[in-house]
A and B are shown apart, each in its own frame.
Chain A
Amino acid sequence: MRLIINGKEQVIDSGNMTIQEILKICDVKSPDLVSVQLNRKFIKREDYTTTVAGENDEIDFLYFMGGGGLIE
């Protein structure tokens, strides 16, 4: 199926997949540390295993990033 992942078209040799499965094939090491939008709607982390994406869906991954000053 064809997915748009972070703005780029990706063709995946598979039918509908859960967010969890897509994170896995995209080699996302810590799914707990990534926020996912499916068609511009945020998916709760506990729903990654049950939410399914299909043909032409748009998926965005956003990673936690700190950095900046040093108020550690």
Chain B
Amino acid sequence: MNFTENQIERYSRHIILQEVGPEGQKKINNAKVLVAGVGGLGSPVALYLAAAGVGTIGLADNDVVDMTNLQRQVIHFTSDLDKHKVESAADKISALNPDVEIRMHKGFLNPENIAGIISGYDFIIDGTDNFPSKFLINDACVLNGKAFSHGGILRFEGQTMTYTPGNTCYRCVFGYAPPKNAVPSCSQAGVLGSIAGMLGTIQATEAIKYIIGKGRLLTNRMLTFNAFNMNFGEVNLSANSDCPVCGSNPVITKLEMDEQPVCDLKQ
């Protein structure tokens, strides 16, 4: 399977796992994963995928590192303030594992560019924090037959599910983006930094399982947790025949950003 001696040593703890083995590790080394959003979730995902030796990691973000990010976005350091997040993350990944080829996608994912970007990857990580982007990633993956991991965190809580073609998608569950400001963002409501690590490492694990084709993915179920009480739950899901993008009469057949009607919840 022509690993170098260094690689045999580096990946030895994977290779001795019966479920991974040299074949699985080879699959990981040949895999291409896009990390969409290199923030709270994307940071741990990118670090663990790089450590695992994922052959190609794509980094998509449009932001620079801000002081408020450092409490949870662990791939970015104090010395990276004002640096583009994609570059900051790329530096850490190549320092951690020079085997990894990094592709940088600086800018917003939008309906015009997303299909072209995801076509180069086997698996997509949704690490974005806004609903229009989450629904755009979902639709692009559903319409192009790509697998992805959804992740959401807020305060002390997280939720994640994995989509593979033919199974329950994010829109099956949530329909359309909620009104603007109806659901508080982490910048409005706060988030415990370590929650991002809890959820991001689950997303990275799903990506690896998908790549090696082993284990039971979070398809057709949503894993949720409340870390304040440290309760984990799981909701079984069924694909929704009324789903706007994957249902029996889809109304979404081309990519668009979800409009978020403005509403004021101050009541």
Contact = CB atoms under 8 A, between A and B. Distances in A.
Contacts of B153: 65, 67-68
Interface string B60-104: 011100100100010000000000000000000000000000000
* Chain A contact residues: helix, strand, loop or mixed: loop
A14 interface: no
Given A40-B238, A42-B240, A62-B222, A67 B174 contact: no
Interface in A13-40: 30, 32-33, 35, 37, 40
Contact of A71 (B37, B152, B183, B234): B37
Interface residues of B, number: 55
B174 A72 contact: no
A68 B39 contact: yes
A30 B264 CA distance: 13
B62 A71 contact: yes
Given A32-B178, A72-B187, A67 B235 contact: no
A53 to B, nearest CB: 16
A9 to B, nearest CB: 14
Interface residues of A, number: 24
Given A6-B233, A65-B157, A69-B36, A33 B42 contact: no
Contact of B151 (A7, A32, A67): A67
A67 B151 CA distance: 8
B28 interface: no
B89 to A, nearest CB: 11
A50 B224 CA distance: 28
Interface of B: 36-42, 61-63, 66, 69, 73, 108-109, 126-131, 133-134, 151-154, 157-159, 172-175, 178-179, 182-183, 185-187, 191, 196, 199, 222, 224, 233-238, 240, 242, 265
11 contacts: A7-B234, A32-B179, A32-B182, A62-B159, A62-B173, A65-B157, A65-B158, A67-B152, A68-B153, A69-B38, A72-B130
